[in-house]
Structure 1
Amino acid sequence: MKEHFSFDQRLGILIPDLTKEWDEYSKESRENILFNWEQIRGSIPDRIAELENQINQKQAQLSDESNFKRSCQLNTEIAELASIINDLWLWYRANQTLSSKTHH
């Protein structure tokens, strides 16, 4: 069933990679996709916690950093990690869309 997912290097998780419209998949395939997605989705809060930890470490480095160029680099890295967290939350909430499709 992993053929319906691809690893997103930036997010650090598998994301759905559906090649057909949802209704074109068999009921069994849709159920398997949703089952796998639920397992992946369940790991998203842990992934977010990892990234938040990295942000906290970078913020601690930033508070002690006197080099302006390095401070800018840390701020950029923090912003990118925050962007990844935001995208992960979007994927986490995407489950409601997939689940509602199976109940029609």
Structure 2
Amino acid sequence: MILTPESRQELLDIIKGQKIVKTWDGAFCFEPHNTLFIYKDNQWKNIELCFGCKQYNHSKELPVNREEFLRSYQDWINLENFFRKQGAQWEAPKKK
């Protein structure tokens, strides 16, 4: 999906609104079903998101501050709710 100017601002507000709190680490399955693609200066960069284990990976050139970005469980819930509001659908990995 391509975000509208309004939904893009909502996404930026979610990311900017994250607070530094105690880190929450979930299990690590890392099966990303969602990716943020960022096009700037004629280059594509991305952030892959796994809402199953609450982990992410990103392009090396993308300046992500790992001390602040998606550090709490609530940060992940807010971002997941944003994706679902935009119509994204996926299934969480099944436990074996």
Q: Which has the higher helix share?
A: 1
Q: Which has the higher strand share?
A: 2
- Alignment TM-score, normalising by the size of structure 2: 0.29
Compare CA radii of gyration and give the structure with the larger one: 1
- Alignment TM-score, normalising by the size of structure 1: 0.27
